[in-house]
Amino acid sequence: MRKTALLLSAVFLMFLASSMIAGSVSVKAETCSDLWFARNQIYANNGYCFKSRRAINTFGRNCFPPYGRLSRNQQARVNAIKARERRRGCGRGGSGPAPQSVYASMSCADLWYARNDIYARNGHCFKTARGRNTFGRGCFPPYGKLGRTDRRRVAEIKRWEGRNGCR
């Protein structure tokens, strides 16, 4: 019995090692959102203390030891997901422009959320009920002041909102 368990463990470890070497770490997510979720789920499962509003809203403020420290296997999975995000042209939570095709396929509600999520991550104080209900009342420095990359993303989203006749 013990030899069988040991043999199965060895076979599993060899499979895991060969899949890591081949670069075929299993990531089934296809959209940028799915990839973002898969990557951050690994950190959340390891007690990472998230700072972005999107991550806090998704995973909560559940920090615990080891506070996001990853094993080699977990880090390899995160690296594989990041590589896939780069290949797909996904933005990294506000840095780097997302490809136009992402915005072209979004509904007006999705465009509104994408635009205001950028502001929320930068501490904007929302005045509308919709904004407060979606992103909360928690404003913080820099109080919605955007960096160059985020300003470009907001401008691009606004152009798509205009093209789609969004209000």
pLDDT digits (tens, 9 = 90+) for 8-59: 344 334 444 444 333 333 444 468 888 888 888 888 888 888 888 788 877 7
Q: Residue 1 corresponds to which tokens in the numbers above?
A: 């019995």
Tally of residues, the chain: 167
CA atoms within 13 A on the CB side of 165: 0
pLDDT of residue 165: 92
Model pLDDT for residues 130-149, shown as the tens digit of each residue: 998 888 887 888 888 898 88
What is the pLDDT averaged over residues 100-117? 82
Distance CA 88, CA 82 (A): 10
In terms of pLDDT, which residue wins out, 37 or 3?
37
pLDDT of residue 30: 66
Distance CA 120, CA 102 (A): 20
* 37: amino acid identity, one letter: F
| DSSP string for 35-90 | HHHHHHHHHHHTT----SHHHHHHH-S---TTTT---HHHHHHHHHHHHHHHHHT-
Residue 105 DSSP label: T
What is the pLDDT averaged over residues 107-132? 90
**Would you say 59 and 49 are in contact if contact means Cβ atoms under 8 Å apart?**
no
Model pLDDT for residues 84-104, shown as the tens digit of each residue: 888 877 765 543 444 445 777
For the cut 80, the answer to whether the pLDDT of residue 124 exceeds it is yes
pLDDT of residue 10: 43
pLDDT of residue 18: 40
**Would you say 80 and 27 are in contact if contact means Cβ atoms under 8 Å apart?**
yes
Model pLDDT for residues 52-83, shown as the tens digit of each residue: 878 887 778 778 877 788 898 889 999 998 88
Distance CA 125, CA 138 (A): 7
pTM: 0.44
The phi-psi region of residue 123 (left if phi > 0; otherwise alpha if psi is between -120 and 50; otherwise beta) is left
For the cut 70, the answer to whether the pLDDT of residue 126 exceeds it is yes
**Would you say 97 and 155 are in contact if contact means Cβ atoms under 8 Å apart?**
no
